[in-house]
């Protein structure tokens, strides 16, 4: 099948830059869209063509479907890559793209819908034999039902909105006394925030690790997994540092969790790149949490250990190409770590937009930098604070940490405050170095240090 001539990238920042780079390497023309606040941003400059789609607020630009479709029509783009965030998991947008005769670089709207609704997703996963966090069977309608669920699961529990996302619409309950109140509050809030008050209950796992499996499928029925990533370094349910492979898994557990991820993807006939997120207990039991039906921020660590270019394959699969490798061809080579660089205070996490007076990216052997930064760039205050990612690779984890430490020491960003020092301290932390952590590690450590 013929490759696209031109792709529109419905995103900004480092992921737009990443996709433009992939387009260039494939010989495809790229169209950047930008808000008035992003006129001088890197993605606007790097693309072959750029179209302004509205004022700074995302609702009027990067989330403005009419403006995006007009830009695609104006530039005669054949396909749209949504990146992550913004409209990447919006099935209605995917529908509109397809109805307009364009190609959606992503999974089918049907699999996006199934996985986007947590109750539906869990039902599908149960049928596929993927382990679920113990809890309610589907939606919980009344407080009596909630009490009945807790009788078997015990406390603590987590009440979740079926339509929730981005860490919103969840409530942890530790005792019977607060159950009724939390249940009705969660239901009311879910209705107000997501227009759907369906909630369900899960056992709250106290000290799990976050381990996720990367999958990739084509339109010819081939689906493979590309092993796992460990993303337990989090703050406020936001990932800070990711690595692949997970330092916690033995070969047997790796095989099991990757097989579960693959089964999940196969259950929805998944096409494109996707991620199945699991929580893993200290006894190495693991449970399906959710599937992200898009490319993820941390995809480079997987690219590095497997040698598979995920963005290139997203595009090729959307163009109808067959995967030219099979499961047995994919092997883990070495270790990779990614540090997310945010324009924010390293310990207080207050955003720090402004002008970058000097930018110097680290280099040298096995260091990759995906970023929209340049000296003189004015970071707008309107969007996510992530301004780039530094990724390192080495033969083993210890060497990879050392390489990341020297990369972090080389990185210079002047003019705005960044979380560089947080990474420097974290990389030197014995708990991190010995891989003895869970999803609460970072917050507990910050608390102990009174940082």
Interface ranges with ligand ADP (CB under 6 A): 133, 158, 164-168, 202, 204-205, 208, 210, 237, 277, 279, 289-290, 439
Which residue lies nearer to ligand ADP by CB, 192 or 326? Answer: 192
Q: Of 151, 203, 160, which is closest to residue 183 (Cα–Cα)?
A: 160
10 φ/ψ angles, rounded to the nearest 5 degrees: -90, 60
35 φ/ψ angles, rounded to the nearest 5 degrees: -85, 170
Which residue lies nearer to ligand ADP by CB, 87 or 413? Answer: 87
List C-alpha distances in Å: 258 to 211, 239, 286, 299, 443. Answer: 10, 21, 11, 16, 28
Active site residues: 294
Reading the block at residue 25, the tokens are 């390497």
List C-alpha distances in Å: 322 to 138, 307, 325. Answer: 36, 17, 9
The least CB distance from residue 300 to ligand ADP, in Å, is 20
Which residue lies nearer to ligand ADP by CB, 202 or 242? Answer: 202
The least CB distance from residue 202 to ligand ADP, in Å, is 4
Which residue lies nearer to ligand ADP by CB, 238 or 424? Answer: 238
Under DSSP, the state recorded for 37 is G
Per-residue exposure over 66-86, b if at least 16 CB sit within 10 Å of its own CB, e if not: ebbbebbeebebbbbbbbebb
Q: H helices of 100-172, where?
A: 109-116, 118-127, 143-153
The SS3 of residue 44 is helix
Q: Are 105 and 88 spatial neighbours (Cβ–Cβ below 8 Å)? A: no
Which residue lies nearer to ligand ADP by CB, 218 or 242? Answer: 242
Rg of the chain's alpha carbons, rounded to an integer? 22
């Amino acid at each position: 099948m013929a490759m696209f001539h031109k792709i529109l990238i419905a995103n900004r920042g480092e992921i737009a830059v990443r996709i433009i780079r992939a387009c260039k390497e494939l010989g495809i023309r790229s169209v950047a869209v930008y808000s008035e606040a992003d006129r001088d941003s890197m993605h606007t400059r790097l693309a072959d063509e750029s179209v302004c789609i509205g004022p700074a607020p995302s609702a009027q630009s990067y989330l403005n479907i009419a403006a995006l479709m007009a830009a695609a029509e104006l530039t005669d783009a054949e396909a749209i890559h949504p990146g992550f965030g913004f409209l990447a998991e919006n099935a209605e947008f995917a529908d509109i793209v397809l109805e307009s005769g364009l190609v959606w670089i992503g999974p089918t709207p049907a699999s996006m819908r199934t996985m986007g609704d947590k109750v539906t997703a869990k039902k599908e996963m149960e049928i596929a034999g993927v382990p679920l966090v113990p809890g309610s069977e589907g939606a919980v309608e009344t407080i009596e039902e909630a009490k009945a669920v807790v009788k078997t699961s015990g406390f603590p529990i987590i009440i979740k909105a079926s339509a929730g996302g981005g860490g919103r619409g969840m409530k942890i309950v530790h005792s019977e006394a607060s159950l009724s109140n939390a249940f009705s509050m969660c239901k009311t809030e879910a209705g107000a925030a997501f227009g759907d008050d369906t909630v369900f209950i899960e056992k709250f796992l106290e000290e799990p690790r976050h381990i996720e499996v990367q999958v990739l499928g084509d339109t010819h029925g081939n689906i493979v997994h590309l092993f796992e990533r460990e993303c337990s370094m989090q703050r406020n349910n936001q990932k800070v540092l990711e690595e692949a492979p997970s330092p916690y898994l033995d070969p047997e557990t790796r095989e099991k969790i990757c097989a579960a991820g693959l089964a999940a993807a196969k259950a929805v006939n998944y096409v494109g790149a996707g991620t199945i997120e699991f929580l893993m207990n200290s006894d190495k039991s693991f449970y399906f949490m959710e599937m992200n039906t898009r490319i993820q921020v941390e995809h480079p660590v997987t690219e590095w250990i497997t040698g598979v270019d995920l963005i290139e394959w997203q595009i090729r699969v959307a163009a109808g190409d067959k995967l030219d490798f099979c499961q047995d061809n994919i092997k883990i080579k070495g270790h990779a770590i990614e540090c997310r660089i945010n324009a924010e205070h390293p310990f207080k996490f207050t955003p720090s937009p402004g002008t970058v007076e000097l930018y110097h990216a680290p280099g040298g052997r096995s260091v990759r930098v995906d970023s929209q930064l340049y000296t003189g760039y004015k970071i707008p205050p309107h969007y996510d604070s992530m301004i780039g990612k530094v990724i390192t690779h080495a033969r083993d984890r210890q060497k990879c940490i050392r390489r990341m430490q020297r990369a972090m020491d080389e990185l210079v960003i002047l003019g705005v405050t960044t979380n560089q020092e947080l990474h420097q301290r974290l990389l030197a932390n014995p708990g991190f170095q010995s891989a003895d952590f869970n999803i609460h590690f970072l917050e507990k450590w910050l608390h102990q240090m009174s940082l």
